[in-house]
Structure 1
Amino acid sequence: MTRSERAMQVWQILIGAAHNRQTLTYGQVAEHLEFEGAGVLAPILGCIMSYCEAKNLPPLTCLVVNKTTGLPGAGLTTVEDLPTEREAVYNQNWFAMYPVQIPDLESHA
């Protein structure tokens, strides 16, 4: 499966979490994808982060956090004020948007 295809899967997981006002650990996201570990998520989340930034959307990837710290990893470079931006993610009506497609994510992979 390509990075953009995996990003599409993670996108669906994250918009569901946003709708429910949840954060997910890297391990939980990896488990949804049946990955052995969370270490492979960085490029996939980077694709989503880049897409959100390019489309002027709230940073959906700020919902994925480290199990120990409760914070996103250092690779989340598009967030300046985590509580405010996470609230924007929760308040965005992701399901009302035209669904993101794999080709939309390919240029950000």
Structure 2
Amino acid sequence: MTRSERAMQVWQILVGVAHNRQTLTYGQVAEHLEFEGAGVLAQILNCIMCYCQAKGLPPLTCLVVNQTTGLPGTGLTTVQNLPTDREAVYKQNWFALYPAQISDFEPYA
């Protein structure tokens, strides 16, 4: 599966998580995808982060956090103020948006 296809899978997971005002650990996301570990998620999450930034959307990736710290990874460069950004993600009506497509993530893969 390509990175763009994986980004689409994670996008769908995170939209549901945002709707329920939740967060997931990197391990939980990896588990959903049946990955052996969470180390491969950085590039996939980067696709989503860049797409959100390009579309002027709140940083959906701020909902994925380290199990120990409860914070997104340091590579999540779009997060300026985590509580504010997370609330913006929760308030965004993701289901009202035109659905993202695999091809939307390809420029960032």
Per the normalisation by structure 2, the TM-score is 0.99
The aligned counterpart of 2:104 is: 104
Instruction: Find the aligned partners of 1:104 and 1:45 in 2 and give their Cα distance.
Output: 14
Instruction: Find the aligned partners of 1:42 and 1:103 in 2 and give their Cα distance.
Output: 19
Kindly report which structure 2 residues correspond to 1:84-99, keeping only aligned pairs within 5 A, or say none: 84-99=84-99
The aligned counterpart of 2:38 is: 38
Q: Tell me, what secondary structure is at the counterpart of 2:108? A: coil
Instruction: Find the aligned partners of 1:31 and 1:54 in 2 and give their Cα distance.
Output: 28
Which AA in structure 2 matches 1:11? Answer: W
User: How far has the Cα of 1:20 moved from its partner?
Assistant: 0.1
Report % sequence identity: 83
User: How far has the Cα of 1:108 moved from its partner?
Assistant: 1.3
The aligned counterpart of 2:54 is: 54
Instruction: Find the aligned partners of 1:7 and 1:34 in 2 and give their Cα distance.
Output: 14
Poorly superposed stretches of 4+, deviation over 2 Å: none
Instruction: Find the aligned partners of 1:8 and 1:22 in 2 and give their Cα distance.
Output: 19
Question: Root-mean-square deviation (CA), in Å?
Answer: 0.4
The aligned counterpart of 2:69 is: 69
Which AA in structure 2 matches 1:46? Answer: N
Are 1:15 and 2:15 matched, yes or no? yes
What's the CA shift string for 1:56-88, capped at 9, x where partnerless? 000000000000000001010011100000000
Which AA in structure 1 matches 2:68? Answer: T
User: How far has the Cα of 1:96 moved from its partner?
Assistant: 0.7
Structure 2 stretches lacking a partner, 5+ long: none
Structure 1 stretches lacking a partner, 5+ long: none
Instruction: Find the aligned partners of 1:37 and 1:27 in 2 and give their Cα distance.
Output: 7
What's the CA shift string for 1:13-50, capped at 9, x where partnerless? 00000000000000000000000000000000000000
Per the normalisation by structure 1, the TM-score is 0.99
